[in-house]
Structure 1
Amino acid sequence: MTDVASPPVDPLQPWPLTVEWRPVSGRFIAVEEIQLGAMVLVLTAVPAVLWLFFDVWPLLAAAAAVLVLGATRAVVIVRSVRSWGYAERDDDLLVRHGLMVRRLSIVPYARMQFVDVSAGPLERMFRLATVELHTAAAGSDARIPGLEAAEAARLRDRLAALGETRAEGL
Structure 2
Amino acid sequence: MTTPPETPPQDPSGPEPERPAGVLDAGTYDRILQPRSERRLPLGDGTWHQLARAYVRVQLITQGAVFVLVLAAAVVAQAITGVQWQWIPAGVVLVVTLVGLLITPRQARSFGYQLRSDDLVFRRGILWQRVVAVPYGRMQLVDITHGPLDRGFGIAQLKLVTAAASTGVTIPGLTQDAAEQLRDTLVAVAETRRTGL
Interval containing the TM-score (normalised by the shorter chain): 0.7 to 0.9
Number of corresponding residues: 160
Report the CA distance shift for 1:159/1:64 in structure 2 as closer, same or farther (over 3 A). same
What is the deviation of 1:61?
A: 5.1
Name 1:37's counterpart in structure 2.
64
Q: Which residue does the alignment assign to 1:4?
A: none
Taking the aligned partners of 1:166 and 1:64, their CA distance within structure 2 comes to 51
TM-score normalised by structure 2 residue count: 0.75
Measure how far apart 1:143 and its partner are. 1.0
Q: d(CA) in 2 for partners of 1:9 and 1:166?
A: 36
Q: Per the alignment, in what secondary structure is the counterpart of residue 58 of structure 1?
A: coil
**Residue 102 of structure 1: which of 115, 119, 129 is its match?**
129
What corresponds to 1:13 in structure 2?
41
Shift of 1:69: 3.1
Q: Distance in 2 between matches of 1:160 and 1:33?
A: 32
> What CA distance in whole angstroms lies between the structure 2 residues aligned with 1:63 and 1:106?
39
Aligned partner of residue 132 in structure 2, secondary structure: strand
Distance 1:140 1:70 in 2: 29
Select the structure with the greater relative contact order (CA < 8 A; seq sep ≥ 6). 2
Equivalence for 2:110: 83
Q: Deviations over 1:1-40 (max 9, x none)?
A: xxxxxxx984x52222x12111100110011111111222
* Pairwise CA RMSD: 1.9
State the 1:119 CA deviation.
Answer: 1.0
Q: Percent identity?
A: 36
- State the TM-score, normalizing by the size of structure 1: 0.86
- Gaps of at least 5 residues in structure 1 are 1-7
In terms of fraction of residues, the more strand-rich structure is 1
CA distance in 1, matches of 2:105, 2:90: 24
Aligned mate of 1:121, from 148, 168, 178: 148
Task: Please list the CA deviations of residues 34-79 of structure 1 after superposition, one character each: whole Å capped at 9, or x if unmatched.
Answer: 1111222222222211101122123245444443332221111111
Match of 2:167 in 1: 140
Counterpart CA distance in 2 for 1:31 and 1:118 is 15
Q: Report the Cα distance in structure 2 between the residues aligned to 1:113 and 1:93, rounded to whole angstroms.
A: 14
- What amino acid is aligned across from residue 149 of structure 1 in structure 2? Q
Alignment-mate amino acid for residue 126 of structure 1: F
Distance in 2, Cα, partners of 1:24 & 1:144: 8
SS at match of 1:86: strand
Greater shift, 144-153 or 46-55, is seen at: 46-55
